[in-house]
Structure 1
Amino acid sequence: MADYDYIIVGAGTAGCVLARRLSEDPRVRVLLLEAGGGDTHPYLRMPLGFMKALRTPRFTWPYWSEPEAQTGNRRVPIPRGRVIGGSSSINGMFHIRGHRGDYDEWRDLGCSGWGYDDVLPYFKRSETSWRGEGPYHGGDGPVQLSRIRNVGLFEEELRQAYADAGYPLTEDYDGEDQEGFGPGQITVDKRGRRASAARAYLTAEVRARPNLVILTRALTERLLFASERVSGVVVRHGGAVHEITAGEVILSAGAYNTPQLMMLSGLGPEAHLREHGIPVRADLARVGQDLLEHPRLDLVYQAARPETFSRQLRWDRAALSALRWWVSGTGPFSSHVCSGSAQLRVTEGVDRPDIQILSSPVAIRADLWFPGLTPPPPHAFYASICLLHPKSRGHMELRSASITDAPKVFLNLLGDDEDVATLRRGLQAARHVYGMPTQAALMAHELQPGAPLQTDAEIDAAIRAQAGVTQHPAGTCRMGVDDAAVLTPDLRVRGVAGLRVADASIMPTIPGSNINAAVLMIGEKAADLIKGAA
Structure 2
Amino acid sequence: MENARNFDFIIVGAGSAGCTLASRLTENPDIKVLVIEAGGSERNPLITVPLGWGKILFERLFDWGYFTEPEKEFNDRKVECARGKVIGGSSSINAMAYVRCHREDYDRWERNGCIGWSYSDILPYFIKCEDWEKGDQPLRGVGGPLTTIENKYPDPLQEAWLLAGEAAGFSRTPDYNGPQNEGLGTLQSTIRNGRRCSAAVAYLRPAMERPNLSVITKALVHRVIFEKNKAIGIEYSSSNKSLTKIYCENEVIISGGVINSPQLLMLSGIGDSEHLAEHKIATKIDLKGVGQNLQDHLSVGVEYERIGDGPFVNTLRYDRLLMSMAQAYFFGKGFATEMPGPLTGYICSKDGLPQPDLQLLARFIPPESQPWFPGVRPKPKDAFMVRPVVLHPKSRGKLKLASANPEDHALIYQEFLSEPEDWKTLRDGIEIVKDIATQKPLDAFRGPEIQPKDEPIDEWIRRTAWTVHHPLGTCKMGPNTDDLAVVDTELKVRGAENLRVIDASVFPDMLGGNINAPTIAFADRAADLIMGKPPLSPMEI
What is the TM-score when the length of structure 1 is the normalising length?
0.96
- 1:524 maps to 524
User: How far off its partner does 1:58 sit?
Assistant: 5.0
Task: Flag the 1:55–1:119 CA change in 2: closer, same or farther, 3 A.
Answer: same
Check if 1:61 corresponds to 2:64.
yes
Cα distance in 2 for partners of 1:364, 1:223 equals 45
Tell whether the 8 Å contact from 1:414 to 1:464 is kept in structure 2 after alignment: no
Once residues 194 and 525 of structure 1 are traced to their aligned partners in structure 2, the CA distance between those partners, rounded to angstroms, is: 24
Q: Name the SS of the counterpart of 1:81 in structure 2.
A: coil
Do structure 1's residue 224 and structure 2's residue 225 form an aligned pair?
Answer: yes
Aligned-partner Cα distance in 1 for 2:98–2:312: 22
1:471 partner amino acid: H
Task: Determine the structure 2 residue equivalent to 1:494.
Answer: 494
**Partner SS, residue 182 of structure 1:** strand
Residue matched to 1:194: 196
Task: Tell me the secondary structure at the aligned position of residue 163 of structure 2.
Answer: helix
TM-superposed deviation, 1:276:
0.6
Sort the Cα spacing of 1:109 and 1:143 in 2 relative to 1 into closer, same or farther, 3 A.
same
1:208 equivalent in structure 2:
209
Gaps of 5+ in 1: none
Larger CA deviation: 458-467 vs 27-36: 458-467
The superposition leaves residues 66-103 of structure 1 with CA deviations (integer Å, 9 ceiling, x where unpaired) of 00221111000111100000000000001111111011
SS in 1 for 2:294: coil
Listed one character per residue, the Cα deviations across residues 111-166 of structure 1 (whole Å, up to 9, x for unaligned) are 01100000001111111011213431110111101111131252211111111111
Identity of aligned residues (%): 40
Answer yes or no: is 1:478 the counterpart of 2:476: yes
Aligned-pair distance for 1:267?
A: 0.4
Query: In the TM superposition, what whole-angstrom CA distance separates every residue of 1:418-453 from its partner, at most 9, and x where no partner exists?
Result: 101101111111111111112132111111122x35
Greater Cα offset, 154-163 or 501-510: 154-163
2:486 maps to a residue whose letter is: V
Deviation at 1:56, TM superposition (A): 4.3
- Letter of the 1:44 partner, please give it: I
Give SS of 1:24's match.
coil
TM-aligned CA distance change 1:81 to 1:480, over 3 Å: same
Aligned to 1:524, what secondary structure does the other structure show? helix
Q: Shift of the alpha carbon at 1:365?
A: 4.9
5 Å-filtered alignment, 1:227-246, equals 227-237=228-238, 239=240, 240-246=242-248
Q: Aligned match of 1:315 in 318, 325, 338?
A: 318
Which of 282, 286, 290 is matched with 1:283 structurally? Answer: 286
- Alignment map for 1:41-80 (pairs within 5 Å): 41-57=44-60, 59-80=62-83
Label 1:81 to 1:365 Cα distance change in 2 as closer, same or farther (>3 A): farther
More deviation in 52-61 or 6-15? Answer: 52-61
Match of 1:96 in 2: 99
Matched, 1:28 2:28: no
C-alpha distance in 1 between matches for 2:311 and 2:168 = 23
Query: Which residue is equivalent to 2:539?
Result: none
| Partner AA of 1:528 in structure 2 | D
Name the SS of the counterpart of 1:203 in structure 2. Answer: helix
Q: CA deviation at 1:238?
A: 5.2
Give TM-score, length-normalised by structure 2. 0.95
For 2:339 and 2:87, the matched residues in 1 are separated by 22
Q: Secondary structure at the match of 1:154?
A: helix
Residue identity opposite 2:442 in structure 1: Q
Asked if 1:162 corresponds to 2:165, the answer is yes
Residue 515 of structure 2 corresponds to which residue in structure 1?
A: 515
Q: Which of residues 138, 143, 156 in structure 2 aligns to 1:140?
A: 143
Cα distance in structure 1, aligned partners of 2:107 and 2:306 = 42
Query: SS of the residue aligned with 1:59?
Result: coil
2:365 aligns with one of 356, 362, 365 = 362
In 1, Cα distance between the equivalents of 2:156 and 2:40? 34
**Does 1:379 pair with 2:388?**
no
Q: 1:175 aligns with which of 159, 175, 178?
A: 178
Shift of 1:376: 2.7
**Partner Cα separation in structure 2 for residue 272 and residue 327 of structure 1:** 51
CA distance change for structure 1 residues 233 and 530 in 2, over 3 Å: closer, same or farther? same
1:352-378 deviation per Cα after TM superposition (whole angstroms, max 9, x unaligned): 111111112213551212332223333
1:261 alignment partner AA: L
Q: Distance between the aligned counterparts of 2:20 and 2:317, measured in 1?
A: 39
Q: Secondary structure at the match of 2:300?
A: strand
Aligned residues: 527
Rounded to whole Å, the distance in 1 between the matches of 2:369 and 2:127 is 35
Please give the secondary structure, in 2, of the residue aligned with 1:61: coil
1:145 counterpart SS class: strand
